[in-house]
Chain A
Amino acid sequence: MSLATLSFTLAFVAGALVLSIWLKLGLQKDIIVATVRSTIQLLVVGYILKVVFKLDNPLFIGLMVMLMMVVATQNAAKRGKGIKRVWWRIFVAITATEVATQGLLLGLRITPATPRYIIPLSGMIVGNAMIVSGLLLNRFISEASSHRGEILATLALGGTPKQSIMPFLKNAIRASMIPTIDSAKTTGLVQLPGMMTGLIVAGADPIQAVRYQLLILFSITASAALTSIVLGFLTYPQFFTRLQQLVLPE
């Protein structure tokens, strides 16, 4: 696809702009910002990928993955406002997930150790881990505050912090994994996953594309569970003081 052909699709954006003005939706600015941003971000990433693929240097691959994890952590941390030192906990959970999943994929030689595989797969694993982290923290905070009475009652009966909060941590872990599981259930029926679409458009055999997609699906489901559990267990102690008192994030 040439740049010229691509630029024709800007007509769609122009259409959206016209509609927004006509219906007084007031979205013009957002549409323009979104268009410009996505263009720049993707172009930059495209060139960076090109360089990284060509160099095939572990250092650059590492840097690229690190950058993904930092951005993902930054984003998920917004959901955990009020929890002390939450940033590092998310970072550790996401890193653990990435290392374990890639370790398995590369260690068992399921995927080749080239940037062409490592980077896009990392992107999907880390991206999903980010969403799961955000969901977990959000849900965990609201579970803990709506069940404050039960937590306090357990503590007052001589229970440990862990005993008092475990049922609600489990609820939060469960809830954070539901979207991943649900989307796995309907995959292919509702929408074709991005990676598969990309492979097919680029001319790959659909069966081959499906195999890769399944690989992604399995990795993402496992990594969602891993992220959620690791982050949950790293986070719950932050809801208590050294003297086993409940302090809810504000």
Chain B
Amino acid sequence: MSQRARNVTESGAPGIRHTSSSSGDFATDASIEFRHVGKSMKQGNQIVPVLRDLSGVIPHGCVVTLVGPSGSGKSTLLSLCNLLITPDEGEVYVHGREVREWSIPRLRQTVGLVFQSPAMFPGTVMDNLQYGPQLRGETLGNPKRVLQSVGLAEDMLARDAGELSGGQKQRIALARTLVNNPEVLLLDEVTSALDPSAARDVEEWILKVHEERGTTLLWVTHSLEQARRVGDWTWLLVDGQMAEVAPTEEFFETPKSDVTARFLAGELGGGAS
């Protein structure tokens, strides 16, 4: 934790900046920057705003925990970072370049996303780990080390991926993404389907990767305890709007906004740990 906290201070991280006036200028130390992002989606016959005028900066090597009630737009925000969806308004910058200007496979390799309930590809654990490199016609160098990096024994390689437990699948999904050596990792409630000890375990492995590789993390979680434990900064999303951005300790100790206090008290739903 102290190690990470130091990282952040070194990069002199503001959590949010209003950049309406400064058109061409962005923080070069920013891993991800959202600028006035808006997104609407079709629900039935209506077009409903899901994200509204949202701005924020994630510095290099920083852990941002993203919390908010169910349906507040957290998963949607993650999908903007690797261009699985496009914003209707505003821009998203990764390493200073707008996502739509990246080569898309390159962007998605650089910005890894682990889904809440990951789909396994048919075949063995080995097949799943090799999947990413194979898409590019490469082979995976050291599958055993990859397994170790998420705390799994190497004799799992030959197992059928479809038959693993939820926790094991989640780790394989994480490992599968790590094989791409992402510089940014988007985590969508990766531990919420796991029992507490498995969740804690996966959490530790993620932090270990973060510390070893300096990976930037944008980590969506339902567990406020987890958000507090792992975060350097915490963002609160309510109704598609950024309700609060603060260093994690401040966020939980001395929330500035009324909404945050109510969210922490469990009054908005979806925040219960």
Measuring CB to CB, which residues of chain A are less than 8 angstroms from any residue of chain B?
Answer: 147, 149-150, 152-160, 163, 167, 241, 243-246
B176 at the interface (CB under 8 A from A): yes
Q: Known contacts being A243-B86, A243-B100, A245-B83, is A155 close to B108, with CB within 8 Å? A: yes
In the complex the two chains form, what is the Cα distance from A150 to B106 in whole Å?
Answer: 19
* Shortest Cβ gap from B83 to chain A (Å): 6
- List, in ascending order, chain A residues with CB within 8 A of B48's CB: none
Q: Known contacts being A156-B113, A157-B109, A243-B83, is A149 close to B104, with CB within 8 Å? A: no
In the complex the two chains form, what is the Cα distance from A154 to B119 in whole Å?
Answer: 10
**30 chain-A/chain-B pairs, Cβ below 8 angstroms:** A149-B117, A149-B118, A149-B119, A150-B119, A150-B121, A152-B84, A152-B119, A153-B115, A153-B119, A153-B121, A154-B131, A155-B108, A156-B82, A156-B84, A156-B112, A156-B113, A156-B115, A157-B108, A157-B109, A157-B131, A157-B135, A157-B177, A158-B135, A159-B135, A160-B105, A163-B135, A167-B122, A243-B100, A244-B104, A245-B85
B241 at the interface (CB under 8 A from A): no
Nearest B-chain residue to A164, judged by Cβ: B135
List 10 additional A-B contacts (Cβ < 8 Å) besides A157-B177, A158-B105, A159-B105.
A149-B115, A152-B115, A152-B119, A156-B177, A157-B176, A157-B180, A158-B180, A243-B86, A243-B104, A245-B86
- List, in ascending order, chain A residues with CB within 8 A of B82's CB: 156
Nearest B-chain residue to A250, judged by Cβ: B42
In the complex the two chains form, what is the Cα distance from A185 to B104 in whole Å?
Answer: 46
- List, in ascending order, chain A residues with CB within 8 A of B135's CB: 154, 157-160, 163
The 8 A CB mask of B161-179 against A (1 = contact, 0 = none) is: 0000000000001001100
Nearest B-chain residue to A163, judged by Cβ: B135
In the complex the two chains form, what is the Cα distance from A163 to B132 in whole Å?
Answer: 11
- List, in ascending order, chain B residues with CB within 8 A of A243's CB: 83, 86, 100, 104
Q: Known contacts being A163-B135, A243-B104, is A153 close to B83, with CB within 8 Å? A: no
In the complex the two chains form, what is the Cα distance from A167 to B112 in whole Å?
Answer: 23
In the complex the two chains form, what is the Cα distance from A22 to B218 in whole Å?
Answer: 70
In the complex the two chains form, what is the Cα distance from A152 to B188 in whole Å?
Answer: 14
In the complex the two chains form, what is the Cα distance from A241 to B105 in whole Å?
Answer: 14
In the complex the two chains form, what is the Cα distance from A149 to B119 in whole Å?
Answer: 6
Q: Is the CB of B86 within 8 A of A156?
A: no
**Among the listed B85, B122, B136, which residue makes an inter-chain contact with A158, where contact means beta carbons less than 8 Å apart?**
B136
- List, in ascending order, chain B residues with CB within 8 A of A158's CB: 105-106, 108-109, 132, 135-136, 180
In the complex the two chains form, what is the Cα distance from A153 to B131 in whole Å?
Answer: 10
